Amino acid sequence: MNLARSAMKARLAKLPHPDDLPPVGNEDEEGEESDSLGSLPPGGGLGPPAMPRRTHFKPQKTPNPDFAPISAAGFFKEAAQVAVPSRALDFRVYHTPPAVGNATGTVMICHHGAGYCGLTFACFAKEVADLSKGECGVLALDARRHGKTTSTDGHDEDLSIGVLVDDLVALLKTMFPEPAEAPTFLFVGHSMGGSVVVQACPKLQEVKYRIAGVAVLDVVEGSAIEALPHMHSLLNARPDGFDSLEEAIEWHVNTNTIRNPTSARISIPSIFRHVPDAKVLPVYQWRTPLRSTAPYWTSWFTGLSSKFLAARTARILILAGTDRLDKELMIGQMQGKFQQAVVPGVGHMLQEDDPTRIAELLVEFWRRNERVVVGVKKVGDR
């Protein structure tokens, strides 16, 4: 489907255009924020391991050019602002359509975690395109109050799970209004985004969209809920902001929040906003301060395991390291209800830390479940 169609009310721009994905120094792009669900104990599924507390982060006098922001132009084919009046939102999406066309192709619909943005999937998107030889596309979005998605009525504070799910469903219906002409969707959700895609899946199936599978990245309901009481104290270890984007990127890399400097240089600028007249805080401040999302934490993860297992499609859970499964998932795994993969050597931001391996797992998952031989049971089918 052509994103430029007026019915979609989208304004497309090729990524190299400076208005969409500007190079370092553009305050509009810098005005996006980044956060992971903080420094949580291993197994929390919400963020990286706890980092050493820093009451004072000393900014560099001269920004380090090794951590300068870089454009995502080579990682997605296009960027778009898609107006969805029913949600009073103007969504930023990053899109690489399938080379075979929407009606016969598959698109991985990627939803980021809290505090991040669609560019967290930039390196992953390029790997998917390469590994699938263009047959599988990628669509990554910025959720409300994140990245370059903006509110048209000034009321986008609500980040409860039901609102986020309805946002995603409305966006996809706007971009692909005819289910028969739409690509097959393969949902990929990281952390909080895992809950969003799991719950969006049945809503779209009800109106006849084709779903090839759902992938949840590094979140387990049981350990996530257990970690929530520690969130506020752990967030105290995070700087309030930075004096340059280079410092923000370097901090994420040096603390192992993101272990892939190239990915960090693409994704981090969009999760900060530039406040040049800041009097107290540094001029680059988190766009979505995680503490402000606290009222919604429980809603994001409660019931995730049962909803994941109930999804009427193929299912895969990809974890960073050895996280313990809760009881429901343990039983489901023993019954063969989902595929599980553990990726060594990565942190919570596994799609950024090792985009090649995550792409390999999901392209293989797509091939097994979307191009399955008639009569062969899909992974997760009952």
Residues 189-215: tens digit of each pLDDT: 999 999 999 999 999 999 999 999 999
Which ranges of the chain does DSSP label H, i.e. alpha helix? 27-30, 122-131, 161-175, 192-206, 221-227, 231-235, 245-254, 261-267, 297-301, 304-310, 327-334, 350-353, 355-370
Q: What is the pLDDT of residue 234?
A: 82
Q: How many domains does the chain have?
A: 1
Q: Which tens digit of pLDDT belongs to each residue from 281-339?
A: 899 999 999 999 999 999 999 999 999 999 999 999 999 976 679 999 999 999 999 99
Q: 24-33, 47-56, 154-163, 232-241 — which one is most confidently predicted on average?
A: 154-163
- Quick check: is 256 in a domain? yes
- Quick check: is 346 in a domain? yes
Report the percent of the chain where pLDDT is more than 70.
80
Q: What is the pLDDT of residue 61?
A: 61
Give catalytic residue positions.
191, 218, 348
- Report d(CA 359, CA 96) in Å as an integer: 14
Q: What is the pLDDT of residue 8?
A: 37
Q: What is the pLDDT of residue 323?
A: 65
Q: Which tens digit of pLDDT belongs to each residue from 57-77?
A: 454 468 999 999 999 999 999
Arithmetic mean of pLDDT, 44-51: 45
Q: Is the confidence at residue 133, as pLDDT, over 60? A: yes
| Cβ–Cβ < 8 Å for 271, 146 | yes
- Quick check: is 60 in a domain? yes
- Quick check: is 288 in a domain? yes
- Report d(CA 80, CA 151) in Å as an integer: 15
* Paired sense of beta strands 314-320 and 339-343, if any: parallel
Rounded to the nearest integer, the mean pLDDT of the chain is: 85
Spatial CA neighbour of 320 closest among 219, 227, 189, 222: 219
| Cβ–Cβ < 8 Å for 232, 291 | yes
Report the percent of the chain where pLDDT is more than 90.
73
Q: For residue 133, what are the β-bridge partners?
A: none
- Quick check: is 100 in a domain? yes
- Report d(CA 289, CA 240) in Å as an integer: 9
**CB within 8 A of 158, min separation 6: which ones?**
144, 296
Out of 231-240, 295-304, 324-333, 360-369, pick the least confident: 231-240
Domain holding 95, by residue range, is 6-370
Q: Is the confidence at residue 261, as pLDDT, over 90? A: yes
- Quick check: is 113 in a domain? yes
Q: What is the pLDDT of residue 27?
A: 35
Q: For residue 188, what are the β-bridge partners?
A: 110, 215
- Quick check: is 314 in a domain? yes
371 falls in which pLDDT band (50, 70, 90)?
Answer: low
Q: Which pTM value belongs to this model? A: 0.84
Residue 131, both tokens: 């590994």
CATH number of the domain residue 229 falls in:
3.40.50.1820
Token pair 């994941």: residue:
308
